[in-house]
Amino acid sequence: MVTVTLAPGKEKRVNAGHPWVYRSEIARIEGELPPGALAAVSDHRGKFLGQALVNLRSQIAGRLLSRVEESVDAAFIERRIREALARAGRSVAGPGACRLVFGEGDQMPGLIADRYGDLVVIQILTAGMERLKDDVLGALQRAVGPRAIYERSDVSVRKLEGLEFRTGFAWGSGETGVWIREGDLAFFVEAAAGQKTGFFLDQRENRQAVKRLARGRDVLDCFCYSGGFSISAGAGGASSVLGVDISTEALSWAERSTAQNGLGECCRFVSANAFDHLRALGRERRRFGMVILDPPAFTKGREALAGALRGYNEINLRAMKLLDRGGILVTCSCSYHVDAATFLDMLRSAAADARREFRLLDLRTQAADHPILLAAKETQYLKCAILEATN
């Protein structure tokens, strides 16, 4: 096996449990190393640290797959996937939906696998996992037993790995638009055209929190996508729900789910830029008992963090001004470059600018089927703060 040797002192993060090796940390490579190949990783003294999928085209050159010397074959991949399926929040049967494999969080770096009823949707993010794709597909077929496996490998990180985008059925065939159940609610998911793999599974537990808090409130849901939070609020007894999203296609899915759940009189949706709509509602002096903000990641890199924080500050400031006294703000960030402390500091600044005071009722994160590695803060990307206006 090819050996990748780290420079002196660069083994500390790996020894602490982090699964990444940066290209700048590599001192030398012994042997030929095509993109995505498996290699042994050692410290500068030659001590074995683990086996990694290595791609020198990427800044994250190595992603540890195992910390022991073992065969990485079809049996290894199936064992890892079955271990992932046994973790919290996951099921291989029924009409529900869940994340089956969450990359580094499940020791399968570069692989995302989600289940929507009898359809599995995968994303292959790295050259290393691309090499293991056939074994992954076989393992998912045996362990999950889906009708089909659809691939959504159309995310920008593939470009950093030297990979082209790819979408379509990786195995099987049939419809990509499916109905799933989340508790007592039904949602329509379009796996081929939707955001991520079709639905925001990471917000499942936060949708339940909204459902518990929504009763009797007029709710504004910005960046509502296909209506997950809106419909949960309506089902929780909201007096009214207004969902706002720029995508008319996503709103058509929201309206289908709204009708399916018998919430047509409660929930309505408008296609608009959320920034502009928040400004317009402010000019109209509208007031709401709950405002939900679940925007896309405003930054994909640390170099754009300042601009992202300005964007978060603006939408939160405007949302805070729209709240009744005692109103609830549910506000999210899905960028791991904005950590929880930075996110809370931004909210404090926005509240001061809005001349509003808030209690922090809860600071939540992603659903349990998106496991977090203690040593890799990058695996904890979602922040969901629930605030109550006190004035």
Among all residues, which ones are annotated catalytic? 334
Tally Cβ neighbours within 10 Å of residue 159. Answer: 11
| CB of 379 closer than 8 Å to CB of 107 | no
Burial 190-216, CB ≥16 within 10 A → b, else e:
bbbebebbbbbbbbbbbbebbbebbee
What are the C-alpha distances in Å from 344 to residues 184, 284, 312, 339, 380? 33, 28, 11, 9, 15
* Cα–Cα dist 104/111, whole Å: 8
- Chain centroid offset of residue 146 CA: 22
Strands 240-245 and 267-271: parallel
- Chain centroid offset of residue 139 CA: 23
